[in-house]
Chain A
Amino acid sequence: MTHTPTQVVSAGVDLFADAVAAQAVPVSRVAWQPPMTGTEQDLATVAADPLRHEANERALAAMLGVQAVLVDVAPASEVLGLERGEFLHAGPPIAWEQASGPLRGALMGAAALEGLVEDPEDAVALFASGEGIRLEPCHHRGTVGPMAGLVTPSMWMFVLEDPTTGRRTHCSLNEGLGKVLRYGAYGPEVLERLRWMSAVLGPVLAAAVRGHGPVDVTGILTQMLQMGDEAHNRNRAGTLMLMRDLAPAIVESGHDTGDIGDVLRFVGGNDHFFLNLAMPACKLALDAARDIDGSTMVVAMARNGTEFGIQVSGTGDTWFTGPANLADGLFLGDFGPEDANPDIGDSAITETAGIGGFAMATAPAIVRLVGGTVPDALATSRRMHEITLGENPRWSIPVLEFQGVPTGIDVTRVCRTGILPQINTGMAGREAGVGQVGAGLVTPPAEIFPKALAALAERTRERGQSFSTGA
């Protein structure tokens, strides 16, 4: 027989939901609201795209299927072919003229690090002239960088690989907190630390990784998410697990014991060390979902300190950008909101992959750091399921009954609900050279999602798979 429905999902007029409930059938009521202004027609076009559903399933499955392993540590000149005068930075493309304080500071420090100038202050004229200088987003070179995200030829990089396909992603080594290059500081102590990292930290880690063999970064992420890390603003458990895995090989690397002691102290003293492995692992997974025609899944969210940009699977390499927001959170010392630069860094790749702010519920220890409460954290993680395509069965949150993290941000769902991705972030000082001033929560500028949606709709129409030409 035709069965009585076991449930009715009702979107729209409450009265009809009431009528179903009055007939003793359970009703799930959708708290429907109109979509973002001006998106109605594009939403219908994209929703009706015959490619969309399967394309999104493929994108999600491709992303979830990636196992990221750390296979090498090596200079950027070797693994990225970076040359003198080339600077990789976080976020979408940007020129010196538009660059914010922290990005400028980091560029100035990096120019001094590479010997292009003696004094970082001299780099201002160099970048203004643009001679022999090339700025390029990390994302364009299979790389991600936290905050300013500077990568130059002499910097040593983590090299992560997907063993199934041989695809690779890269990230620099984490400098620690405070006055550091990625937050726009470029003082002598910053450059000295960077030189030590290239001279000692990189080579020791390289030897250790070769001695130990590939390190399962995705596996560590699985565990750290159950140990109170959300892998963006808290990486303490992940860092310790990496140390556990590599320490024997570090000790046996044959390097000077003093250097080995320094390396172990440096890594152990930097709770964010693992962030620079979590980020390229996320990028490696998301890159697998790129370039699937019809897919509405976001494959990158990144900020350059001026603009926030996203890339979407179904629209190739196009960046959809808008002005970066200021984070809302807590400030270090005497710093206040007026000292903060707008949002910066490629680290929102963690949220794009379903962790960081999306996994806030699993990191109650840091909810105060970013100015939130534990109930907020639980609600945030749940809310992110409204805008994602699925869940990650590998990365689960114990306190939410081991529900997988919300994964695969869907441009259409963001436009429909108006719910923006929640990002946990550090805050850089507005002025070049200041460094970190705080940490907090931030969202992308809302308008970039309708922009991406319009491009998806345009592609649907170009394929001749739209009905809406006359509408």
Chain B
Amino acid sequence: MSHTHVEVRGGAYADSVTLLQVSRTVQATEGVEAAQVAMATALNIEVLEQMGFTVPSEATPNDMLVALRLASEEALDPALGAVRDALAEAGRARDQGETGLEPPRTTGAAFRRTGEGLALVSVPGGNALVEAMDALDAGRDVMIFSDNVPLAEELALKQAATARGLLVMGPDCGTAVVGGLGLGFANSTSPGPVGMVAASGTGCQQLLALLDHAGVGVGSALGVGGRDLSADVGGLSTREALRRLDADDEVELIVVVSKPPDPEVATAIREYAGTLATPVEFALLGPGQPDLTAAAEAVLTRLGRELPTWPARGAAAAAGDGTLLRGLFVGGTLCDEAMLIASAELGPVRSNIPLSPELALGSDLDADDHLMVDFGDDSLTAGRAHPMIDPTLRLEHLSRVAADPRTGVLLLDVVLGHGADPDPAATLAPALADVRQPVVVALVGTALDPQGLDRQARALTEAGAEVHLSNARATRRALELLGGHR
């Protein structure tokens, strides 16, 4: 007889990634059928209710929920013991300091202790400004990984930073490389002649991966957040990042990678770039613009390098009866790029991050049409870990899409690097093995990435996928596979 236990723990807190690990550990305990330990955010409550749990109405986002489905009531004590141990283990890792002092509780307090370096803020979006402002108050740069930060708060931060000559990378900045140090989801790069300004995390990662394959290093890739070149923000961080890279003697060429900027902001930034001593190449993703792979090629040409062959491995299964293209992405820019390329050939592509508003998907993320979903979008990450860390949502959706007879070809991205899932193929490959449709994967990573680019590629090809380094190539290949059946 199955037994359910739901408990609200007031005042307890751990970050979403830690709780994901705790949930997995508890799930592996004998007698536990399902376990979710999560903060009681609206999204997590929705997930729990979908799992069949009833969440007490008094739970607030500041409370921790422990939800367990057990084989029997006798399994409760061991399961709660496992929760306790897993949380304690996570807490130990956090509190381990060399000094034996209590850890700092705010970014400001941490800087007051040492006064060096930069801040990396990945707290929930509603709290990000406060932590980031601490860094600016301490005279330090800050990278804000957090998403769901209101536009007006972004502007307030960037105005404060501009007044103080500081750099705000983000919010919603997934990737940065600062003097070789990867922050957030960042690929391992070698020092080199290219400096990057990136308003797009996965766009930046795609360029890092392609340039790495061509033997060109990137010493710094300064993220600015996806909205930096909008009319509202006006490129405040882009200017500061350009100024920094221009002052860096090792940078021979600056690349600005962004979704299409506001036209007036674009003009102003191009004007500013013209005043710099270092040449600036713009890689602006949009209709009628070169894709990221073409942008990488332009960079290589400008540096006088040979263009390499972009690698492709494995062979996708032959297409069946399905006629629709289904793209499931963890990278927003990769999803965007794929939609741009695909819609030029297929016509409208529906998405949760649509190219135009009428193409938006409902909350079921389904449509009787070609569609591409970005699982890293703000609306799908509130209160839970990014899909580059937590594959659950995409894997769930993958099985649904694969079971859908309308699906013709599946297009996926897998993004490697620091901070990302240590072995994404470990969960994706078994899921792919059950898919009948052809699967094309854009595997974005560098040779030095901790997950092992080759190992990941091998596991995915063995599961039947065709694996490309270039997302644009992967998309075109998916279109080709779909081609005969339209």
Is A129 on the interface with B (CB-CB < 8 A)?
no
Q: Which residues of B contact A383 (CB under 8 A)?
A: 102
In the complex, are the beta carbons of B106 and A417 less than 8 A apart?
Answer: yes
Chain B nearest CB from A450 CB (Å) reads 13
Whether A48 contacts B157 in the complex (CB less than 8 A), given A11-B120, A386-B106, comes out as yes
**In the assembly, what is the distance between CA of A234 and CA of B221, in Å?**
56
In the complex, are the beta carbons of B150 and A4 less than 8 A apart?
Answer: no
Chain B nearest CB from A264 CB (Å) reads 45
In the complex, are the beta carbons of B123 and A12 less than 8 A apart?
Answer: yes
Query: Which residue on B lies nearest to A37, using beta carbons?
Result: B62
In the complex, are the beta carbons of B389 and A15 less than 8 A apart?
Answer: yes
> Among A19, A53, A413, which residue has the most Cβ atoms of chain B within 10 A?
A19
Whether A40 contacts B103 in the complex (CB less than 8 A), given A5-B179, A7-B114, A48-B133, comes out as no
Q: Which residues of A contact B127 (CB under 8 A)?
A: 32, 34-35, 40, 43-44
Among A21-29, A91-99, A207-215, the one that faces the other chain is: A21-29
A377-402 contact mask (Cβ, 8 Å, vs B): 1 or 0:
00100110110000000000000000
A39-69 contact mask (Cβ, 8 Å, vs B): 1 or 0:
0110110011010010000000000000000
Query: Which residue on B lies nearest to A49, using beta carbons?
Result: B156
B90-114 contact mask (Cβ, 8 Å, vs A): 1 or 0:
1001110000011111111111111
Q: Which residues of A contact B123 (CB under 8 A)?
A: 11-12, 32
Is B131 on the interface with A (CB-CB < 8 A)?
yes
Is A125 on the interface with B (CB-CB < 8 A)?
no
Residue of A25, A386, A468 touching B104 (CB-CB under 8 A): A386
In the complex, are the beta carbons of B106 and A6 less than 8 A apart?
Answer: no
**In the assembly, what is the distance between CA of A379 and CA of B102, in Å?**
8
**In the assembly, what is the distance between CA of A467 and CA of B232, in Å?**
13
Chain A nearest CB from B61 CB (Å) reads 7
Whether A31 contacts B104 in the complex (CB less than 8 A), given A4-B181, A11-B122, comes out as yes
Is A321 on the interface with B (CB-CB < 8 A)?
no
- Can you sample 11 A-B contacts with CB below 8 Å? A2-B179, A12-B121, A13-B18, A20-B183, A30-B107, A34-B127, A35-B130, A383-B102, A385-B112, A417-B105, A467-B150
Chain A nearest CB from B110 CB (Å) reads 4
**In the assembly, what is the distance between CA of A4 and CA of B248, in Å?**
12
In the complex, are the beta carbons of A467 and B13 less than 8 A apart?
Answer: no
B118-153 contact mask (Cβ, 8 Å, vs A): 1 or 0:
111111101101110101010010000110001011
Query: Which residue on B lies nearest to A383, using beta carbons?
Result: B102
Whether A16 contacts B105 in the complex (CB less than 8 A), given A11-B122, A467-B153, comes out as no
Within 8 A of B (CB), among A188-242: none
In the complex, are the beta carbons of B61 and A29 less than 8 A apart?
Answer: no
**In the assembly, what is the distance between CA of A2 and CA of B93, in Å?**
31
10 A-B pairs with the lowest CB-CB distances in the bound complex, closest first: A12-B122, A467-B152, A7-B117, A4-B179, A19-B418, A48-B156, A31-B103, A13-B122, A12-B123, A9-B110
**In the assembly, what is the distance between CA of A245 and CA of B58, in Å?**
61
Q: Which residues of B contact A3 (CB under 8 A)?
A: 179
In the complex, are the beta carbons of A16 and B179 less than 8 A apart?
Answer: no
Residue of A29, A34, A467, A471 touching B94 (CB-CB under 8 A): A29
Is B450 on the interface with A (CB-CB < 8 A)?
yes
Is A419 on the interface with B (CB-CB < 8 A)?
yes
Is A447 on the interface with B (CB-CB < 8 A)?
no
In the complex, are the beta carbons of A13 and B102 less than 8 A apart?
Answer: no
Is B446 on the interface with A (CB-CB < 8 A)?
no
Chain A nearest CB from B297 CB (Å) reads 25
Query: Which residue on B lies nearest to A413, using beta carbons?
Result: B106
Given contacts A11-B123, A12-B120, A35-B130, 20 further A-B contacts (CB under 8 A): A2-B244, A8-B119, A9-B111, A11-B131, A12-B122, A12-B131, A14-B18, A16-B145, A20-B181, A22-B418, A28-B114, A28-B117, A29-B94, A30-B105, A32-B105, A32-B127, A40-B127, A41-B126, A48-B153, A413-B108
Q: Which residues of A contact B178 (CB under 8 A)?
A: 2, 4-5
Interface residues of B (CB under 8 A from A): 13, 15-18, 60-62, 90, 93-95, 101-114, 116-124, 126-127, 129-131, 133, 135, 137, 140, 145-146, 150, 152-153, 155-157, 159-160, 178-184, 186, 195, 219-220, 244-245, 248-251, 385, 389, 418-419, 450
Q: Which residues of A contact B182 (CB under 8 A)?
A: 19, 23
In the complex, are the beta carbons of B126 and A29 less than 8 A apart?
Answer: no
Is A270 on the interface with B (CB-CB < 8 A)?
no
Chain B nearest CB from A468 CB (Å) reads 7
Chain B nearest CB from A394 CB (Å) reads 18
Q: Which residues of B contact A419 (CB under 8 A)?
A: 105
Q: Which residues of A contact B18 (CB under 8 A)?
A: 13-14
In the complex, are the beta carbons of B133 and A8 less than 8 A apart?
Answer: no
Q: Which residues of B contact A100 (CB under 8 A)?
A: none
**In the assembly, what is the distance between CA of A4 and CA of B180, in Å?**
6
Query: Which residue on A lies nearest to B61, using beta carbons?
Result: A34
Is A77 on the interface with B (CB-CB < 8 A)?
no
**In the assembly, what is the distance between CA of A47 and CA of B122, in Å?**
17
Chain A nearest CB from B241 CB (Å) reads 10
Residue of B93, B102, B140 touching A382 (CB-CB under 8 A): B102
In the complex, are the beta carbons of B103 and A30 less than 8 A apart?
Answer: yes
**In the assembly, what is the distance between CA of A1 and CA of B121, in Å?**
24
Residue of A33, A379, A385 touching B13 (CB-CB under 8 A): A33
Chain B nearest CB from A160 CB (Å) reads 31
Whether A16 contacts B103 in the complex (CB less than 8 A), given A2-B245, A8-B120, A9-B135, comes out as no
Chain A nearest CB from B16 CB (Å) reads 7
Is A416 on the interface with B (CB-CB < 8 A)?
yes
Is A412 on the interface with B (CB-CB < 8 A)?
yes
**In the assembly, what is the distance between CA of A339 and CA of B251, in Å?**
74
> Among A23, A44, A379, A419, which residue has the most Cβ atoms of chain B within 10 A?
A44
**In the assembly, what is the distance between CA of A467 and CA of B160, in Å?**
13
In the complex, are the beta carbons of B118 and A9 less than 8 A apart?
Answer: yes
Query: Which residue on A lies nearest to B138, using beta carbons?
Result: A9
In the complex, are the beta carbons of B183 and A8 less than 8 A apart?
Answer: yes
In the complex, are the beta carbons of B15 and A412 less than 8 A apart?
Answer: no
Q: Which residues of A contact B118 (CB under 8 A)?
A: 5, 8-9
Whether A48 contacts B122 in the complex (CB less than 8 A), given A34-B61, A383-B102, comes out as no
Chain B nearest CB from A392 CB (Å) reads 14
In the complex, are the beta carbons of A14 and B17 less than 8 A apart?
Answer: yes
**In the assembly, what is the distance between CA of A15 and CA of B129, in Å?**
20
Query: Which residue on B lies nearest to A3, using beta carbons?
Result: B179
In the complex, are the beta carbons of B114 and A2 less than 8 A apart?
Answer: no
**In the assembly, what is the distance between CA of A43 and CA of B244, in Å?**
31
Q: Which residues of A contact B186 (CB under 8 A)?
A: 19
Q: Which residues of B contact A386 (CB under 8 A)?
A: 104-106, 109
Residue of A4, A13, A385, A416 touching B15 (CB-CB under 8 A): A13
In the complex, are the beta carbons of A19 and B419 less than 8 A apart?
Answer: yes
Chain A nearest CB from B277 CB (Å) reads 15
Chain B nearest CB from A423 CB (Å) reads 20
Q: Which residues of A contact B195 (CB under 8 A)?
A: 2
Chain B nearest CB from A461 CB (Å) reads 12
Chain B nearest CB from A61 CB (Å) reads 15
Whether A1 contacts B109 in the complex (CB less than 8 A), given A17-B120, A19-B182, comes out as no
**In the assembly, what is the distance between CA of A6 and CA of B179, in Å?**
10
In the complex, are the beta carbons of B122 and A10 less than 8 A apart?
Answer: yes
Query: Which residue on B lies nearest to A391, using beta carbons?
Result: B112
Query: Which residue on B lies nearest to A5, using beta carbons?
Result: B117
**In the assembly, what is the distance between CA of A363 and CA of B389, in Å?**
49
In the complex, are the beta carbons of A28 and B156 less than 8 A apart?
Answer: no
Query: Which residue on A lies nearest to B188, using beta carbons?
Result: A23
> Among B60, B250, B418, which residue has the most Cβ atoms of chain A within 10 A?
B418
